[in-house]
Structure 1
Amino acid sequence: MHASSPLDGGPALFRLVRHWARQWAPDVVERFAADAPKAWTVPNLFVIQAIDGAAGDEVTVADVAHQLGIDRSVASRMVGEATRDGFVARSTSARDARRAVLTLTDAAKEFLAASKAHQRQAFDRLVGHWPKEDRERFAGYLSRLADDVLG
């Protein structure tokens, strides 16, 4: 057990990030479940989440790059893979015929729903033993932090 004050959130946050990077990421790098489709990879999920979370009515590769914090060329390759795997549909922008607009397919929405269920289960495994009001408060703080940091 690490001794820390209630206001020592920074080190605690980074301890958790290091733990999840080592322990959890390898478990979900390729698939959320053994029986999941082969295309249910983390890179495809990142693209789906970026499109789902982007603001505006016309989501582009630049928006995906911004959401993921990566170079536009890397985002373009990732979007290309997600498109080939049937998760993203491309259409021409109504505002600028040179731009491609990205939308999620039904397959992407299914993958996203499964991912959110997996995330809720992971959260419940971590704090399910806490009192309900603590779980709800913590979930609210996490959501607030994500919104503040990621927009």
Structure 2
Amino acid sequence: MTDRPGPGQTMFEFVRYWARRGTGDGELARRGRGVQVTEAVRVLADRPPVGVNEVAAELGLDQSGASRMIKDATAAGYLAPVRSAEDGRRRTITVTGAGEELLAAAHRWQEQVFAELTEDWTPRQRQDLRRSLRRLLDRARRAGS
């Protein structure tokens, strides 16, 4: 038996490490949750309607957890409820200009972190990792994982 974790264990250790960065009650954690829910709404915009249930499913949360995140992101100005064009009784959720700015800043930060973590890698190694991660993500989405 080897002491080295397999690739699956390493992948989930990586996911757990980054998932913990957005926990807690501080401003950084609140901003991280704002990015998460705003990104979810943006992704779901291609598959309307975007409501609490759809956001909850995208984030892997229960409805009340997603509702709190949406409420907080709306209060911060990142999201806005709008009356559904199909059903005036239903509200859908959209990303605001401030939400787009938040996501742009988050994406710049993500690219900066990646560049720093891989500063001694070749461009080919960076591209290979990006391509491999994209394949894993696409496969996980198709499998419904």
TM-score, normalized by length of structure 1? 0.77
Percent identical residues:
35
Q: Does 1:87 align with 2:78?
A: yes
Cα shift readout 1:57-106 (whole Å, capped 9, x = no counterpart): 43221121111000112211211111111111111112222321111111
- The letter for the 1-side match of 2:32 is V
Deviations 1:5-26 (A, max 9, x none): 9xx311222333444456x557
Cα distance between partner residues in 1 of 2:85 and 2:76 = 25
- How many residue pairs end up in the alignment? 139
**1:36 alignment counterpart:** none
1:125 is aligned to 2:123: no
Residues 59 and 101 in structure 1, CA contact (< 8 A), matched pair in contact too: yes
User: Cα 1:63–1:19, aligned 2, differ >3 Å: closer, same or farther?
Assistant: closer
Q: Which runs of 5+ in 1 are unaligned?
A: 33-39
Per-residue CA deviations over 1:100-151 (Å, capped at 9, x if unaligned) read 1111111111110010111111111222321111110111111222233246
Structure 2 residue aligned with 1:64: 55
CA-atom RMSD in angstroms: 2.7
1:15 match: 13
Counterpart CA distance in 1 for 2:133 and 2:67 is: 30
Structure 2 residue runs of 5 or longer lacking an equivalent are none
Q: Distance in 2 between matches of 1:86 and 1:52?
A: 14
The amino acid of 1:149's aligned partner reads A
Distance 1:19 1:102, change over 3 A: closer
What amino acid maps onto 2:138 in structure 1?
D
Select the structure that is richer in helix.
2
Distance 1:71-1:26 versus aligned 2 partners, 3 A rule: closer
In structure 2, C-alpha distance between the alignment counterparts of 1:72 and 1:18, rounded to whole Å: 22
State how 1:22-37 maps to structure 2 within 5 Å: 24-25=21-22, 30-31=27-28
Deviation at 1:46, TM superposition (A): 1.3
**CA-to-aligned-CA distance 1:16-69 (integer Å, 9 cap, x gap):** 3444456x5579x6339xxxxxxx612211110111111414322112111100
